[in-house]
Structure 1
């Protein structure tokens, strides 16, 4: 069965312990970890807490920025990613999410070559530790500084160039779900999917990322989930909610609405 999870970005102001207890209390089986929260708690205590709450780590976010767009050099970004691989292995995380980084004044060809060089090196280390890497496309309307890889087509091209068995894709419905072509592309994408993230929005991303409660936007979440399941996706499904539309709401109400929406609309996807 597909593990249902919440990403810690959805409850950003809470402490790690609050996240874990609240998710577990609502019947979620998984948690998507945000590295700054993990650093604050410490990995040893995190492992203990996850065992106490019976939560699986569906993802660890994030590594990348290999193009230097976040101010780090290539070598520093790779070393940081290698450290995260070791943490992901200790946490038994189902995948480590990778963001390419912005173009940072590079021509696209050079940015892509830099990313592929980093992924090729990192994939070898990740395979030794038994960690899956997942490249996430970020919509150009809200994430050019985070990633020059903005759609599923270019993500598949990167995967083909690197050609590593443990490198795959994060499909986030907020970033790619408003593309009319996405349903037609899923047969090509699902074989490479390690993680599905659910996010909704009232309009195409523009400026800051602004997700709304599931079902209150224009992303065809139900159709997308059912289609990836029909195509055999057995990986985790993780909800990520962040932005001005949900900011005024209490985290308790956001989690309760999310649980109710999934139970009523997703159907065959249940936490086991």
Structure 2
């Protein structure tokens, strides 16, 4: 059955220990690790905490930015990805999420070549460490500086060009779920799918990322989950809720709502998690 998890961005102001306790107490068996929190708490302490809490690291966020859009040089971004791979290996993380980087005033062919070169280098090291990488498409309305890979078709083209068995896809429903073609694309994506992140929104992303509580927006999450199960997706599912629409809510309320939503749409999975 799918491992159900919460991504730490959902409880950004809490520390690692608070996150682990709250997630485990609600019956979640996974946690999506955010690297700044990992750095604050320490890798060794985090490994011990996950074991004590019976939580698995479903993902580590993130590596990438290879195009220089975040101010780093190409080699700096690649070196940082190598560090992240070692962190992911120690955490036994299900996947290391990779963001391509923005266009950064370059032509598309240039940034594509840059990304391919980076992924080929990084994938070789990931294979040695037994770490799975997953490229995440980001909606241009809220993440043009993070990634020039904005849709599933572009993501699959890059994966095919790299040709590494360790490279797959992270599908975040907030970024791609309002695409009318999403259900049509899912059967092609599922063989490469390493992680599903659940996010909802009242409208297509525009400006700052602004997610709402699951099931209260316009992303057809229940339909997408049904399609994934129909095509036998058994990988991890993370909840990621962050943005202006939820910033006034207590984190406990957000987690309780997420648990209730998953109980309704994935009752078999939540029972398996708690058994």
Q: Using the alignment, how far apart are the partners of 1:42 and 1:204 within structure 2? A: 36
SS of residue paired to 1:269: helix
Once residues 266 and 246 of structure 2 are traced to their aligned partners in structure 1, the CA distance between those partners, rounded to angstroms, is: 21
TM-score (norm 1): 0.99
Cα drift, residue 234 of structure 1:
1.1
Query: What is the alpha-carbon distance in structure 1 between the residues aligned to residue 113 and residue 228 of structure 2?
Result: 30
Q: CA deviation at 1:265?
A: 2.1
**Distance (whole Å) between structure 2 residues aligned to residue 58 and residue 2 of structure 1:** 11
1:106 partnered with 2:98: no
Is the aligned partner of 1:12 residue 2:12? yes
* Distance in structure 2 (CA, Å) of the matches to 1:269 and 1:67: 39
Structure 2 distance, partners of 1:235, 1:246, is 27
Matched, 1:95 2:95: yes
**Post-superposition offset of 1:226:** 1.1
Give CA-to-partner distance per residue, 1:153-185, whole Å, 9 cap, x none.
100110011011010000000000000100011
Partner of 1:223: helix, strand, or coil? helix
Aligned partner of residue 31 in structure 1, secondary structure = strand
CA deviations 1:217-248 (Å, max 9, x no partner) are 00000010111111121110000001000100
Could you tell me which runs of 5 or more consecutive residues in structure 2 were left unpaired when the two chains were aligned: none
Q: Measure, in 2, the Cα distance between the counterparts of 1:171 and 1:68.
A: 24
**CA offsets 1:64-91 (integer angstroms, 9 cap, x no match):** 0000000000000000000000010000
Computed over aligned residues only, the root mean square deviation of the Cα atoms, in angstroms, reads 0.7
Q: Aligned residue for 2:31?
A: 31
Tell me, in whole angstroms, the C-alpha distance in 2 between the residues paired with 1:34 and 1:75. 22
Deviation at residue 264 of structure 1 after TM alignment: 1.2
Structure 2 SS opposite 1:93: coil
Does residue 262 of structure 2 align to residue 262 of structure 1? yes
Structure 2 counterpart SS, 1:268? helix
Deviation of 1:267 after TM superposition, in Å, equals 3.3
Looking at structure 2, the residues matched to 129 and 29 of structure 1 have their Cα atoms a distance apart, in angstroms, of 24
